[in-house]
Amino acid sequence: MCKASISGEKREIRKQVLALRDSLSDDERQRGNILVTEKILGHQWYYGAEYLLLFANYRSEIDTSMILEDALQKGKKVFLPKVEDGAMMFYRILSVKELTEGYKGIPEPAGDTDCYSGDETLAEKTLMIMPGAAFDVKRRRIGYGGGFYDRYLQDKPWMRTIAIGYKCQMLEEIPTEDTDIRPGQVICL
């Protein structure tokens, strides 16, 4: 299959799955938020992480606020993404109040604090929790089309990554391209 048709297929899957996610009832959303949060907070990778690369949820994404608050209370070094000049960087935050509207309206740190510059020596101390539009049982992920996470992780195969979402975002199989990075685990509940 040629690259153009894979991109088109991914675009259509993204559109359909995001429509499903947007249509979740408040009860379904709350249930998914609680189950995913409990799964992350009880995960050995989270427990052992000193550095947490997380995202602030936007629109109908799974709610990460309880994970964020727990990590800050436990003294983990929490970093959130900020898009700068077409690339994504992770900046440390000490409070949710530091977030402002950024790229496409997504809550971002100001970008004037410590930037995560970890390397492989921090592998067992670092966890990235990432969003996505759709996932499959083989840990393949369709993001939002910008390729930010794929590019960020390209030279970090050592990083522990968990992609999270709602149950409706998990499919049997999705197409991939050579540049797509698979998360270490996918949790969709």
Tokens of residue 88, six digits: 């994504």
In this prediction, residue 134 carries a pLDDT of 98
Tokens of 124: 């067992």
**Beta strands at 107-108 and 100-101: parallel, antiparallel or unpaired:** antiparallel
- pTM reported for the whole predicted model: 0.95
- Rounded to whole angstroms, how far apart are CA atoms 149 and 87? 9
Q: What is the pLDDT of residue 101?
A: 95
Residue 2 has a pLDDT of 42
In sequence order, the β-bridge partners of residue 163 are: 130, 186
**What pLDDT, on a 0 to 100 scale, did the predictor assign at position 97?**
93
Q: Are strands 141-142 and 134-136 parallel, antiparallel or unpaired?
A: antiparallel
Strand order in the sheet with 141-142: 141-142, 134-136, 170-171
The 3-state DSSP composition of the chain as helix, strand, coil percent (nearest 5) reads: 40, 25, 40
Phi, psi (degrees; rounded to nearest 5) at 153: -85, -10
Dihedral, 92, 96, 101, 105 alpha carbons, nearest 10 = 100
Structural domains of the chain ordered from first start: 11-188 (3.40.50.10420)
Q: Which two tokens stand for residue 143?
A: 């993001």
DSSP 122-133: GGGGEEEEE--S
The confidence score (pLDDT) of residue 3 equals 52
Question: In terms of Cα–Cα distance, which of 161, 162, 177, 174 is closest to 135?
Answer: 174
Low-confidence ranges of the chain (pLDDT < 50): 1-2
Q: Which residues contact 133 (CB under 8 A, 6 or more apart)?
A: 13, 14, 17, 18, 21, 142, 143, 144, 169
